[in-house]
Structures are given as C-alpha cells and as structure tokens.
Amino acid sequence: MTTRLLATACLLLVALTAADALGCPNCKDAFATGDPAAANVARGYFYSILLMLAMPFTLAGTFGAYVWREMRRQQRAGGADQPAP
C-alpha cells in the first residue's frame, strides 16, 4: 500500500511540475516573440541538444562494431591456423 501511495505522489509531482520543465526559457521566449533571429538561436540550441544526446550512442555503437569486427576477424584467422585431425 505504501509503495502505491509513493508512486502516486511521485506521479502527481511530475505532472504538476511538467510545465516548468517544458523547455529552456530562451527557446520558449524566442518562439513567443516571433523574431527570426531568436528563432535561429533556439533552433541552434535544439540541434546542439540532439547532438549531445546522440553522441554517447554513436560512440558506444562504433566501439561495439569495432570489437565485433575484430572478434570475427580473429575467429576466422584462428580457424584457418588449426591443423586438420
């Protein structure tokens, strides 16, 4: 029962503060004024955030692909060097 009450309280807290966490103030103000220069700054913020979010996945994926490729290469090389029974 207490777990359910705690989960409900956390959900209510998130729902009430979601409007505050909607976006950075600069982006919200830039689109509210309709100024094209400010909209370009907000667009720059948007793309920089996307870059920062994508970079860890790109690095981890590249490293994983490299390790997988090297392991496959070693397996193929190891299978060719073994003598036939």
**pTM here?**
0.49
| CB neighbour list of residue 29: distance below 8 Å, 6 or more residues apart | 38
Work out whether the CA dihedral 61, 62, 66, 72 comes out positive or negative: positive
Q: Which of 3-12, 16-25, 51-60 has the highest mean pLDDT?
A: 51-60
Q: In angstroms, rounded to a whole number, what is the distance separating the alpha carbons of residues 57 and 63? A: 10
Work out whether the CA dihedral 12, 17, 23, 27 comes out positive or negative: positive
pLDDT tens, 54-76?
Answer: 999 999 999 999 999 999 999 99
